[in-house]
Amino acid sequence: MSSISPASPLPALLQEASLHMQQRSFTSAQALLDRASSMAPHVRDVQMLQAILAIQTRQSEKGEQILRGILQSNPSDVDALANLGYLMLEAKRNQEALEWLDRAIQIQPRHAGLHLNRGVTLAALDRPDEAIQSYERSLNLEPRDAQTHFALGQLLQGQQDFQRAFASYQRALALNPGHPEALSNLLFTHHYVEDFSPQANHDLARRLSPSARMPQGVAASARPPKSSLRVGFVSADLREHPVGYFLEGVLAQLDRTRLSLYAYSNNIFEDQVSEKLRSQFTSWHVIEALNDQDAAALIRQDQIDVLIDLSGYTAGHRQSLFALRPAPLQISWLGYFSTTGQTAIDYVLADPISVPPEEEGLFVERIWRMPSIRYCFTPPPSAPAAALLPALERGHITFGSFQALSKINDRVLKAWAEILRRAPMTRLRIQSKKLDHPEARSRFEEQLKTCDLPMERVHLIGSQSRADYLAAYGEVDIVLDTFPYPGGTTTVEALWMGVTTLTLAQPGMLGRQGQSIMHVAGLPEWVASSEADYITTAVHWAQAGMEHLLELAQLRTELRERVKSTPLFDASQFARDFERAIADMWQTTPLQAPSPHVRSS
């Protein structure tokens, strides 16, 4: 394989290409590397950058081919081994990734980055103890590496050790204040902490948001009236995901003479739901490979009036894009449940229950309330009819939970243990896909025992197909909600299957999520005001006589018909409310000029 001559212009060309790659200007980087390849097609450094660019742009086959070619010439090329390991990890070929990384470590055992990636691979293989050891080796070699602290936080988060994960993300941000994933995971993980504080979350988001580091535009005095608005949606979840399920029915009902819809998907992967959603948009752009500046330029080119963020700080978000203010009016909706801390986002779309007037101060953004509820669910087309109440046949109440294990903290489990203690005939069914993983299941079983749950009365179920999952609601009489992070999608799906959820109202938009849903469903009696009330209500139903069980059975048969005409499921009604909200926000909000350093289209 050729080397580079000292007099060659190639080093400057590669340096420029590398800079464009760091800035995620992949088209420019590719053009520079094409020039470099035409000059020196067999030079290792040219090939290596081509492989890295292929990995960054999700061209895994091309990247693998280039890296294997480099290794044919030099089997001890550590960079090629490391990058091939990373590529295998991205492709979820985790065992192969581990083998390549181990080969690289044998050659260069004091390379901190190799131990970091080995840890990430071991975590993906569900070998957390070994992963922690690799992270510790990486930090011994490079204690101030923000990415390793971040990766350790991710592992701890996966183990539901949220306090330590929170601390790891804080260390990562102290070392690299601009680390976007550490910021989002820090804010998102905070919601799982048992003593979650919406006020503390507000203060943290305001201090750390991308807007906090950028100069802001100046408000203008008037906004031009428009009969039709161009509305853009930015999300990584335009697919089989709660965001996709909530969007699907509403988009189909929106009046295209009032709103033209544009999608900016931050995810290259698409599925059947993506295809359904795509048909509702005037245009669909995949922006995952675009940096913020190029994505902002695209949005301005499309002349978007209203840009809606559907992610908040969940996976795949683009908060830094919104900080550039590519649209005159920017809104946070649907995929998040707290303030973004962004002064560049004008409104959070809420409802009267989820954000009462006394809690508006928990948001940097202004609050705009929908008349009834802030989202509308698309009924699952393949859902079976509601099953009969199991308690009538079994002679006892079966409580259920379909939440992610991360929401089931010790505080929740102790409440459930008290319910089962006071009602010794009851059973508890917990279903979560994490229970398919032996180590996660073992940790959860130990957690149950520590919280004094009677294991002989607790039934644990792993993942199921969507159809089987919906049918599984027929196995439970009442769903017990989690707190401080309650259900959303599962609560709505339970209603559709005829099952009520006992929820606990807590401060904050997230804490009131279950309360908002049950209120719109006309079931306020299923909202508890305290943990004591939550336990008492559950025990009341567990000890209910036949007369009350027949009432619950009757509700079960009527519930789908009852809720389908509410804005929670009635997409046509919700769409009219949504259109009015967008139009009114446009008319009443002062026009914002772009930030001084941001170019206009």
Q: Residue 599 — pLDDT band, cuts 50, 70, 90?
A: very low
Q: What are phi and psi of 448, to 5 degrees?
A: -60, -45
Question: What pLDDT sits at residue 488?
Answer: 96
pLDDT tens-digit map of 225-281 = 788 999 999 999 999 999 999 999 999 999 999 999 999 999 999 999 999 999 999
**Geometric angle at alpha carbon 117, from 116 and 118, rounded to 5°:** 90
The residues, any chain, with a CB within 8 Å of residue 81's CB and separated by 6 or more, are 71, 100, 101, 103, 104, 107
Mean predicted confidence (pLDDT) in 44-60: 92
pLDDT tens-digit map of 415-459 = 999 999 999 999 999 999 999 988 889 999 999 999 999 999 999
| Tokens, residue 587 | 């008319």
Question: What pLDDT sits at residue 274?
Answer: 96
Mean predicted confidence (pLDDT) in 37-42: 88
Give, in order, the Cα–Cα distances in Å from 244 to each of 2, 230, 251, 532: 50, 20, 10, 36
Q: Above 70 in pLDDT, residue 336?
A: yes
pLDDT tens-digit map of 369-423 = 999 999 999 999 889 999 999 999 999 999 999 999 999 999 999 999 999 999 9
Give, in order, the Cα–Cα distances in Å from 252 to each of 227, 229, 247, 260, 342: 20, 17, 9, 12, 30
Q: Residue 9 — pLDDT band, cuts 50, 70, 90?
A: confident
Mean predicted confidence (pLDDT) in 528-549: 96
CA 373, CA 180: separation in Å to the nearest integer? Answer: 31
Average pLDDT, the chain: 93
Question: What pLDDT sits at residue 3?
Answer: 56
| Tokens, residue 53 | 């660019």
Mean predicted confidence (pLDDT) in 94-122: 97
Question: What pLDDT sits at residue 220?
Answer: 42
pLDDT tens-digit map of 154-191 = 999 988 899 899 999 999 999 998 888 998 899 998 99
The stretches of 142-283 forming alpha helices (DSSP H) are 146-158, 162-175, 180-190, 198-208, 242-253, 272-278
What letter represents residue 451's amino acid? C
Contact call for residues 459 and 418 (beta carbons, < 8 A): no
Mean predicted confidence (pLDDT) in 65-85: 95
Q: Above 80 in pLDDT, residue 214?
A: no
Question: What pLDDT sits at residue 221?
Answer: 42
Q: Above 90 in pLDDT, residue 468?
A: yes
* E strand map for 397-499: 398-401, 427-431, 458-461, 478-480
Each residue of 566-600: b (16+ CB within 10 Å) or e? bbbbbbebbbbbbbebbbebbeebeebebbeebee
| Tokens, residue 180 | 């976007």
Question: What pLDDT sits at residue 177?
Answer: 87
pTM (two decimals): 0.85
| Helix or strand run (H / E) with residue 233 | strand 229-235
| Helix or strand run (H / E) with residue 164 | helix 162-175
CB neighbours of residue 165 within 10 Å: 25
Each residue of 462-489: b (16+ CB within 10 Å) or e? eeeeeeebbbbbbbbbbbbbbbbbbbbb
Mean predicted confidence (pLDDT) in 38-57: 91
DSSP state, 591? P
Question: What pLDDT sits at residue 108?
Answer: 97
CA 571, CA 227: separation in Å to the nearest integer? Answer: 22
Mean predicted confidence (pLDDT) in 121-140: 95
**Geometric angle at alpha carbon 149, from 148 and 152, rounded to 5°:** 85
Question: What pLDDT sits at residue 591?
Answer: 67
Q: Above 90 in pLDDT, residue 579?
A: yes
Q: What is the largest CA-CA distance in the chain?
A: 92
Nearest to 304 by CA among 260, 334, 352: 260
Question: What pLDDT sits at residue 596?
Answer: 42
| Tokens, residue 29 | 């980087």
CA 190, CA 326: separation in Å to the nearest integer? Answer: 29
Contact call for residues 404 and 521 (beta carbons, < 8 A): no
Q: Above 80 in pLDDT, residue 30?
A: yes
pLDDT tens-digit map of 472-518 = 999 999 999 999 999 999 999 999 999 999 999 999 999 999 999 99
Structural domains present in the chain: 10-157+165-176 (1.25.40.10), 224-379+578-588 (3.40.50.11380), 390-563 (3.40.50.2000)
CA 490, CA 402: separation in Å to the nearest integer? Answer: 7
Question: What pLDDT sits at residue 2?
Answer: 54
Q: At what angle do helices 26-39 and 44-56 cross, to 10 degrees?
A: 160
CA 591, CA 218: separation in Å to the nearest integer? Answer: 8
Q: Above 60 in pLDDT, residue 219?
A: no
Mean predicted confidence (pLDDT) in 64-69: 95
Q: Above 50 in pLDDT, residue 597?
A: no
CA 158, CA 578: separation in Å to the nearest integer? Answer: 36
Q: Above 50 in pLDDT, residue 344?
A: yes
Q: What is the C-alpha end-to-end distance of the chain, expressed in Å?
A: 45
Percent pLDDT > 70 in the chain is: 95
